[in-house]
């Protein structure tokens, strides 16, 4: 009967969490403001001089100190035991429950003993000693084993039906037993007993109202929006968790005894409190007699400070026992956060050994069982191939069979290979592992589990795994396993490959804390005829129709004598921000730099940092006493950000000698501007400034682009010029330059974030030629930030894409030539993309082309219409081949 009542109650709380939470908080706020137990306005020590309370000493003081420390230790043990579950959500939920319960408890204590808020120092340890996180974590386990919103409500309801009756009876018995202490006549025992029974009641009320509702709300809000397995899923079947809680139910005989005991205790309290002389307990008309005696009101005085200051100072005045308790709490907190990882690892190893493997399950592909089983296969692969997989150039030193085995992974079946895992059972202890690591044997003699123990002990930094192990692949594989144990989904790494990659190029240059790589489709557009030279342009993208559309533009340009380009600017910038004592000194710095001799001093220092980086000028801007110094320099075939930054730091030393009171606030003051849209890059340029142009005959416009010149010219004015101006665009006077720039940047190893400024472009179209029937088109891009050396260009696949263009590495004849030519290729490809897209828009073909090229058939709902396979050939050529 009671189980059904609590189940229905739990379902209501889980189904209406907002109402329950708001109602609970509102009721708590009312209790805080109503002063239920006392309304006394005489505050001892503030506006009244009172007789001092006798301070406990000797054995009594030692007992209180031990009790407080035991309370802190008890909470630490409870949270430490929760780590065995492996769920961070359990820890967070249990902590939330404890914090809210302690808040409500503290509020009740404040109302109970308003005259002395410092009593909280004695009350909170009692509360910690009596709070029971086990029941809260048990309900959380049941909720976390849900896979849907409906299951959350049902599981919480079933959990309440199991835990509710037992917890209610326990709370009643504990309250009645502890309340006997209030009848003892001993002051300290009575105070402690009052705090204790209040703690039990508070904990029970919080569990029965706020907690289930908040639990349901948190899990509902943190669900994965894609409908998959929730991120908080406990990976333990509900039936198993339910069975565990069923087994923990107390014996019915014991429950009956508790009921009889409760009835007897009720009689005892009734007789003691109402059957005889009034006790010194809590009076019905205000403060308890105990509290009145404590106040010992004698003389009214004028307060010398506000009430809240008095309360704050009273709470902060701590005796030796309070200091000891806080020190212990701080020590256990640090230990819990930083030094309890070893226990977790040992528990996981024990649990994995004790968990039987289902019959018939492949021991190397048990992705569905646990994160450990998945990542064991990941680690196992690390003990094999340690060589590079990407071949650049004409290196034929490997046999055909070896080349086949080194191909980049794209198939799911190749992601996790069933190789032998370096393992021993059980792992050696931590100190022995440290000795082996520092010995001549080194990490090769340690198993992967032992390496993970050293990482968790912070003896090996996670980001240095590759360098310390001397094996890039093994370092990546171990890091994957470490990370996977913290993830909600055991199969998260299933489709992120890590094998057959040359991580030596990544280390210290391109990425940190590597866990694998992301294969991106690479298409080719071309041939692109640029300055009488043909290029096959690689484009890495996941946007369908982009490569096909750009390819059509390249075809139209090739049939029109190609594209002509000119590089009109070449300069990389970095703008430190400095501050001087006042605006006058700031203006002196600005004028000092305008003197050619002074500039030459700065340039000499700047140029000394590199063989290729050469300072061209310094553009200054003053705002109050702050000066922005935009160093503009040539950087050869490198994109050059690091070069210019290094030179700027050296140049600032010269300025510091001339202006000792100058303060360098940052080497970058956003006046550069890097990776942010800005007018200064659009006007002044940054990186390579390129102009490309072409003239398309009317016949090509009609036959290939399926439109006419006048429609293109009108559309360009309305869309790219007027439309962008109406939108307040900076550098966005184009149709989709960023599409092409991003695809080329990813393919050739440029910084994708610099697409923001590199895609600055204005596209112009005019009707020219006889009868104004031909189309003149140009693209002007003032800030293409690219390089053919350094950065991502050192990665083999990206270097291969640069080789496709004949632009990998530095120019042998003229420093900076390759980078300038790459910028020209990018601008010309943007022109091809602009030409094709604008033609599709003018002809009304854009939607049809995207339905054909940008719709994965795997994701199309069967009932939706798709492009018919029997289209006529004329329909298929609406988008370029």
Q: Is residue 80 a contact partner of residue 113, using CB atoms and an 8 Å limit? A: no
From residue 353, give the alpha-carbon distance in Å to each of 332, 422, 485.
30, 16, 16
Enumerate residues 6+ apart whose C-beta is below 8 A from 699. none
d(CA 72, CA 69): 5
The 3-class SS string of 155-193 reads HHHHHHHHHHHHHHHHHHHHHHHHHHHHHCCCHHHHHHH
Which structure tokens are listed for 271?
């007789």
Query: Tokens 């210019």 correspond to what residue?
Result: 644
Enumerate residues 6+ apart whose C-beta is below 8 A from 439. none
Q: Is residue 555 a contact partner of residue 547, using CB atoms and an 8 Å limit? A: no
Q: Between helices 596-607 and 583-594, what is the axis angle to 10°?
A: 80
Out of 42, 258, 601, 850, pick the active-site residue: 850
Out of 340, 507, 751, 875, pick the active-site residue: 751
Query: Tokens 């053919």 correspond to what residue?
Result: 788
What is the DSSP annotation of 619-650? Answer: EEEEETTEEEEEEEEE-TTB--HHHHHHHHHH
Q: Is residue 122 a contact partner of residue 325, using CB atoms and an 8 Å limit? A: no
Q: Are strands 577-579 and 663-666 parallel, antiparallel or unpaired?
A: antiparallel
d(CA 213, CA 231): 19
The partner residues of 789 in beta bridges, in order of sequence, read 638
Helix (H) or strand (E) holding 377: helix 371-381
Q: 808 an active-site residue?
A: no
The CA-CA-CA angle for residues 827, 829, 833, to 5°, reads: 115
Q: 372 an active-site residue?
A: no
Out of 543, 607, 649, 875, pick the active-site residue: 543
Out of 675, 719, 848, 853, pick the active-site residue: 675
The partner residues of 695 in beta bridges, in order of sequence, read 776
Q: 543 an active-site residue?
A: yes
Q: 445 an active-site residue?
A: no
Q: Is residue 800 a contact partner of residue 390, using CB atoms and an 8 Å limit? A: yes
Q: Is residue 826 a contact partner of residue 741, using CB atoms and an 8 Å limit? A: yes
- Give the residue among 390, 381, 409 at the shortest CA–CA distance from 519: 409
Which structure tokens are listed for 685?
């340029």
Q: Is residue 718 a contact partner of residue 735, using CB atoms and an 8 Å limit? A: no
Active site residues: 543, 675, 751, 850
């Amino acid at each position: 009967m009671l189980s059904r009542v609590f189940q229905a109650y739990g379902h209501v709380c889980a189904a209406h969490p907002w109402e329950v939470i708001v109602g609970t908080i509102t009721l708590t706020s009312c209790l805080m403001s109503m002063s239920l137990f006392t309304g006394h306005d005489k505050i001892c020590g503030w506006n009244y001089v009172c007789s001092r309370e006798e301070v406990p000493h000797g054995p009594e003081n030692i007992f209180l100190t031990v009790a407080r420390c035991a309370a802190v230790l008890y909470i630490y043990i409870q949270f430490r035991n929760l780590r065995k579950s492996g769920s961070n959500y359990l820890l967070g939920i249990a902590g939330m429950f404890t914090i809210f319960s302690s808040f409500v408890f503290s509020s009740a204590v404040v109302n109970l003993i308003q005259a002395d808020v410092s009593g909280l120092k004695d009350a909170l340890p009692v509360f910690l000693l009596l709070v029971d996180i086990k029941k809260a974590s048990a309900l959380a386990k049941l909720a976390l084993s849900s896979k849907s919103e409906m299951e959350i409500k049902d599981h919480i309801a079933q959990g309440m039906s199991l835990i509710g009756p037992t917890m209610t009876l326990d709370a009643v018995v504990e309250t009645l037993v502890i309340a006997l202490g209030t009848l003892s006549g001993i002051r300290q025992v009575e105070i402690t007993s009052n705090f204790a029974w209040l703690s039990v009641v508070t904990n029970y009320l919080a569990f029965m109202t706020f907690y289930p509702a908040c639990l349901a709300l948190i899990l509902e809000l943190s669900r994965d929006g894609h409908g998959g397995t929730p991120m908080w899923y406990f990976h333990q079947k509900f039936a198993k968790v339910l069975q565990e809680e069923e087994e923990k139910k107390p014996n019915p005989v014991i429950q009956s005894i508790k009921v009889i005991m409760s009835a007897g205790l009720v009689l005892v309290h009734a007789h003691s409190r109402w059957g005889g002389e009034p006790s010194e307990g809590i009076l019905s008309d205000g403060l308890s007699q105990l509290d009145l005696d404590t106040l010992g009101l004698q003389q009214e005085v004028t307060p010398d400070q506000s009430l809240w200051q008095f309360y704050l100072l009273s709470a902060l005045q701590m005796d030796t026992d309070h200091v000891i308790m806080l020190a212990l709490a701080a020590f256990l907190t640090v230990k819990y956060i930083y030094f309890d990882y070893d226990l977790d690892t040992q528990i996981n190893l024990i649990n994995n050994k004790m968990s039987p493997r289902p019959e018939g399950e492949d021991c190397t592909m048990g992705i569905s069982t646990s994160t450990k089983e998945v990542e064991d296969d990941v680690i196992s692969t690390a003990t094999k191939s340690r060589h590079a997989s990407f071949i650049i150039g004409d290196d034929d030193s490997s046999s055909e069979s070896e080349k086949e085995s080194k191909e980049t992974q794209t198939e799911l079946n190749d992601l996790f290979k069933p190789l032998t895992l370096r393992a021993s059972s059980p792992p050696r202890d931590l100190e022995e592992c440290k000795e082996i690591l520092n010995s001549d044997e080194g990490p090769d003699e340690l198993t992967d589990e032992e390496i993970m123990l050293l990482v968790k002990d912070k003896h090996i930094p996670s980001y240095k795994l590759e360098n310390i192990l001397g094996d890039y692949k093994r370092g990546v594989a171990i890091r994957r396993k470490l990370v996977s144990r913290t993830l909600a989904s055991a199969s998260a790494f299933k489709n992120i490959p890590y094998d057959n990659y040359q991580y030596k190029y990544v280390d210290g240059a391109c990425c940190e804390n590597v866990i694998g790589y992301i294969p991106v489709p690479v298409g080719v557009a071309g041939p692109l005829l640029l300055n009488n030279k043909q290029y096959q342009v690689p484009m890495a993208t996941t946007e369908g129709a982009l490569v096909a559309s750009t390819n059509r533009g390249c075809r139209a340009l090739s049939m029109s004598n190609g594209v002509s380009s000119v590089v009109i600017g070449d300069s990389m910038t970095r703008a430190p921000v400095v501050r001087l004592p006042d605006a006058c000194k700031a203006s002196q710095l600005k004028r000092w730099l305008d003197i050619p001799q002074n500039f030459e001093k700065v340039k000499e220092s700047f140029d000394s940092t590199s063989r290729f980086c050469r300072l061209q000028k310094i553009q200054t801007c003053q705002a109050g006493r702050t000066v922005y110094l935009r160093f503009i320099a040539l950087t050869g075939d490198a994109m050059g950000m690091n070069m210019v930054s290094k030179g700027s730091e050296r140049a600032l030393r010269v300025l510091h000698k001339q202006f000792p009171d100058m303060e360098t606030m940052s080497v970058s003051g956003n006046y550069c501007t890097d990776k942010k849209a800005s007018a200064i890059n659009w006007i002044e340029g940054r990186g390579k400034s390129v102009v490309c142009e072409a003239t398309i005959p009317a016949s090509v416009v009609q036959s290939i682009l399926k439109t006419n010149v006048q429609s293109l010219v009108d559309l360009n004015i309305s869309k790219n010029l007027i439309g962008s101006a109406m939108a307040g665009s900076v550098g966005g006077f184009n149709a989709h330059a960023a599409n092409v720039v991003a695809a080329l940047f990813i393919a050739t190893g440029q910084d994708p974030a610099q697409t923001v400024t590199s895609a600055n472009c204005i596209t112009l179209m005019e009707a020219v030629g006889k009868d104004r029937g031909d189309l003149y088109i140009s693209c002007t891009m003032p800030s293409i930030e690219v390089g053919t050396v350094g950065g991502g260009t050192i990665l083999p696949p990206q270097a291969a894409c640069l080789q496709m263009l004949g632009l990998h590495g530095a120019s042998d004849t003229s420093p900076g030539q390759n980078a300038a030519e790459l910028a020209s290729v990018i601008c010309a490809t943007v022109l091809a993309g602009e030409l094709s897209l604008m033609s599709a828009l003018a002809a009304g073909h854009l939607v049809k082309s995207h339905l054909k090229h940008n719709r994965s058939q795997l994701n199309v709902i069967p009932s939706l219409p798709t492009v018919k396979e029997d289209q006529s050939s004329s329909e298929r050529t609406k988008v370029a081949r």
